[in-house]
Amino acid sequence: MENKIVEVFIPGPAGRLEAKYYKSKKITAPIALVLQPHPQYGGTMNNKIVVDTFQVFIDNDFSVCRVNFRGVGKSDGEFDNGQGELADAAAALDWLERENFDNSQCWISGFSFGSLIAMQLLMRRPEINRFIVISPQPNVYDFSFLSPCPTSGLMIYGKKDELVPLEYIIELDKRLSAQKGIKVEFQSIANANHFFAKSENLLIKSLDSYIKKETILF
**Residue 96, CB half-sphere, CA atoms under 13 Å: how many?**
33
Total residues found in the chain within this entry: 218
pLDDT band at 109 (very low <50, low <70, confident <90, very high): very high
* Residue 71 pLDDT > 70: yes
Percent of the chain topping pLDDT 70: 98
The CATH number of the domain covering residues in 6-216: 3.40.50.1820
One-letter amino acid identity for 208?
Answer: D
Distance CA 131, CA 108 (A): 5
* Residue 218 pLDDT > 80: no
DSSP sequence for 23-50: --SSTT--EEEEE---GGGT--TT-HHH
* 79 CB neighbour count, 10 Å cutoff: 14
**Residue 27, CB half-sphere, CA atoms under 13 Å: how many?**
0
Distance CA 40, CA 14 (A): 17
* Residue 217 pLDDT > 90: no
- Taking the whole predicted model, whether its pTM rises above 0.95 is answered as yes
Mean pLDDT of the chain: 96
* Residue 1 pLDDT > 60: no
Residues 157-204 have pLDDT tens digits of: 999 999 999 999 999 999 998 888 999 999 999 999 999 999 999 999
Give the pLDDT confidence score for residue 89 in this predicted structure: 98
